[in-house]
Homo-oligomer: A and B are copies of this chain.
Amino acid sequence: MTQIVQCVPNFSEGRDQTKIEAIVKPLKNKQGFKLVSYEPDADYNRTVVTLIGDPQAISDALIPFVKEALKQIDMNHQSGEHPRMGAVDVIPFIPIQDIKMEDCVAYANKTAKAINDHFDIPIYMYAKAANEKKRINLPTIRKGEFEGLKEKIKDPKWMPDYGEANIHPTFGAIGVGARIPLIAYNIDIDTKELTPAKKMSRAIRHSSGGFRFIQAGPVYLESREHTQVTMNILNYKKNPIYRILETIKMEAKRFHVRVPSCELVGLIPKDALLRSVRYYLEAENKVYDKMMPLDKLVELTKTYMNFRDFDKTKIIEYYI
């Protein structure tokens, strides 16, 4: 079978549509992989690109992509709400099908070396591709951001994994990594009051004593006029969606608020949905079939977990 990865480069332009189009152009209509989406965020001044397909084809296409970002973005004149250290800020490789994490680490290194060879941009390897324990966590590497990294990179402890101890004067530096799929998952809370979402976030997130692979916080959605518990699930196998959702529903009881729906940001591996749908089917003594078609999986996901704005184009395997 064919090796398939997901690759999610983030670049530091989320406002100028002309620049954004120019930067993603080298990723469009390529052999071997699909450009699934690119989602600019004006507040963040950042665009998240999702690619799915052959890791070598993706790695090759990232060279002209970085070249265009280098041409379009000068980090000395870039600002936004999202922390960043480079014009292309991060490039994570994520194993999806018939590929091991160690192979993704190898592709991450190959890509990092090629980028550095071509453009003299320093690279830090992170997550599963990290060469040191303190470089596993991307925010630790990125601390100080583009501006602070000018000095930080000269510290022998922060020597980049590829390149010299100088940032690129206009581009900065890139974090290249390998990791398991991360799920950006939000649970709607049917109140404008932020307190319930705040207390529920505390109940589930690791930093306050909750589940080990959950990062969560409360947020008020101006446009929808209700709050959310917004989260990253860093390991959906150990912290499955249903367990988080049911814990939130349990906590909601004391606040007398409803939990009407939930949503995904970006894509989700089929396996993550299967694991949660299975819980509800088993609880109802119904047959679980892991080979069910995507349409059926979408239907069950909506039935049991009330996902909104959800269809099969949110599932990674749809693109394979």
| A contact residues vs B (CB 8 Å cutoff) | 203, 206, 208-213, 235, 238-239, 243, 246-247, 250-251, 253-256, 279, 282-283, 285
Contacts and interface: CB of A to CB of B under 8 A. Distances in A.
Contact of A285 (B206, B209, B256, B282): B256
A201 to B, nearest CB: 13
B213 A212 contact: no
A232 to B, nearest CB: 14
Nearest to A255: B282
A210 B209 contact: no
B213 A235 contact: no
Contacts of A250: 243, 246-247, 250
Contact of A211 (B209, B251, B254, B256): B209
A160 B161 CA distance: 40
5 contacts: A203-B243, A243-B251, A253-B282, A254-B282, A256-B285
Contact of A253 (B235, B239, B253, B283): B283
Given A250-B250, A283-B253, A209 B209 contact: no
A243 B251 CA distance: 8
Given A243-B203, A247-B247, A250-B246, A211 B213 contact: no
Nearest first, the 4 A-B pairs at minimum CB distance are A209-B238, A253-B283, A254-B282, A209-B212
A155 to B, nearest CB: 23
Contacts of A213: 209
A197 B121 CA distance: 52
A235 to B, nearest CB: 6
Nearest to A214: B209
Nearest to A285: B256
Nearest to A282: B254
A256 B279 CA distance: 11
Contacts of A246: 247, 250
Contact of A212 (B206, B243, B253, B256): B206
A254 B283 contact: yes
A271 B52 CA distance: 52
A243 B239 CA distance: 16
A238 B209 CA distance: 6
A208 to B, nearest CB: 7
Contacts of A238: 208-209
Contacts of A212: 206, 209-210, 212
A158 to B, nearest CB: 23
Given A209-B239, A211-B211, A254-B283, 13 more contacts: A203-B243, A209-B211, A209-B212, A209-B213, A209-B235, A210-B212, A212-B212, A243-B250, A246-B247, A246-B250, A254-B279, A254-B282, A255-B282
Contacts of A210: 211-212
A251 B213 CA distance: 18
Nearest to A212: B209
A77 to B, nearest CB: 42
A187 to B, nearest CB: 15
Contacts of A208: 238
